[in-house]
């Protein structure tokens, strides 16, 4: 139960008020592949990622991990194995970078929570991989947007997820860090994770195994 997760979603509809945000979206990402999710802003990428992460229930349709239906109510056993790096980072500004990364383990079922020391080591390791080892003890508030973006990714990676959903993870990065994060995401997929990355970054898209394009809530 430690390999990459096969992700499927069928007939996803999401409505908010009178608006239909996602309209009959089908997604199939084979285990261990990396998929780019592209489309203009407002097309529904972030909404779809949160549905695929089972953080938000669709009005219709189903998300499955390895063939098992999953909803926000039944996602608990998957937490830790399924992680999302949010577009808006979702960091706590008065904690340090390392403390924010350590928060990833809070969602894990008690039995799988790491002891304090390995937890700290996993956080440092994840920060190192995004090139932020030297910032581990800085308050998030004192870091740049690009640094915060990489902390959010480090947090999502720190539990060695089998499915990683990343929302525009290179949007605020300079060329060097874009390449670093792109390599990291591809490496995660190679080493046994399924990855879905919402992005406008054409270089990243070009290196993905498959490309899904959303327009007005419909997958092209």
Ligand X SMILES: Nc1ncnc2c1ncn2[C@@H]1O[C@H](COP(=O)(O)OP(=O)(O)O)[C@@H](O)[C@H]1O
Residues near ligand X (CB under 6 A) are 16, 19, 21, 39, 41-47
Q: In the range 68-97, which residues lie near Mg ion by CB under 5 A?
A: 87
The Cα 53–Cα 70 span in angstroms is 9
Tokens for 174?
A: 């300079």
Q: Which is nearer to ligand X, 25 or 195 (CB)?
A: 25
**Sequence-ordered list of residues with C-beta below 8 angstroms from that of 21, at least 6 positions apart, any chain:** 14, 15, 44, 47, 217
Query: What phi, psi does 185 have (nearest 5°)?
Result: -65, -40
Q: Which is nearer to ligand X, 191 or 215 (CB)?
A: 215
CB of 40 to ligand X, least distance (A): 7
Is residue 170 near Mg ion by the rule CB under 5 A? no
CB of 28 to ligand X, least distance (A): 20
In 3-state terms, what secondary structure has residue 155?
helix
Size of the site for Mg ion (CB under 5 A): 3
CB of 155 to ligand X, least distance (A): 20
In 3-state terms, what secondary structure has residue 51?
helix
Can you list the alpha helix ranges (DSSP code H) found in 90-198? 97-102, 116-129, 145-157, 175-190
Q: Which is nearer to ligand X, 45 or 129 (CB)?
A: 45
Is residue 46 near Mg ion by the rule CB under 5 A? yes
CB of 170 to ligand X, least distance (A): 15
Residues that bind Mg ion (CB under 5 A): 45-46, 87
């Amino acid at each position: 139960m430690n390999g990459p997760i096969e992700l499927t979603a069928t007939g996803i509809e999401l409505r908010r008020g009178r608006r239909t945000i996602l309209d009959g979206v089908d997604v199939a990402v084979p285990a261990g592949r990396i998929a780019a999710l592209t489309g203009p802003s407002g097309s529904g990428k972030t909404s779809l990622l949160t549905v695929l992460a089972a953080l938000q229930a669709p009005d219709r349709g189903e998300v499955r991990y390895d063939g098992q239906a999953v909803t926000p109510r039944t996602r608990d056993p998957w937490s830790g194995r399924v992680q999302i790096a949010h577009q808006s980072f979702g960091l706590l500004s008065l904690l340090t970078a390392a403390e924010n990364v350590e928060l990833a383990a809070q969602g894990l079922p008690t039995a799988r929570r790491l002891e304090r020391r390995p937890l700290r080591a996993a956080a440092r390791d994840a920060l190192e991989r995004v090139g932020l080892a030297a910032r581990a003890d800085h308050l998030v508030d004192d870091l740049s947007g690009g640094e915060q973006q990489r902390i959010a990714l480090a947090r999502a990676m720190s539990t060695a997820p089998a499915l990683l959903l990343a929302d525009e993870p290179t949007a605020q990065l300079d060329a060097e860090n874009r390449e670093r994060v792109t390599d990291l995401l591809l490496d995660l997929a190679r080493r046994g994770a399924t990855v879905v990355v919402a992005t406008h970054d054409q270089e990243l898209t070009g290196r993905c195994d498959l490309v899904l394009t959303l327009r007005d809530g419909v997958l092209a």
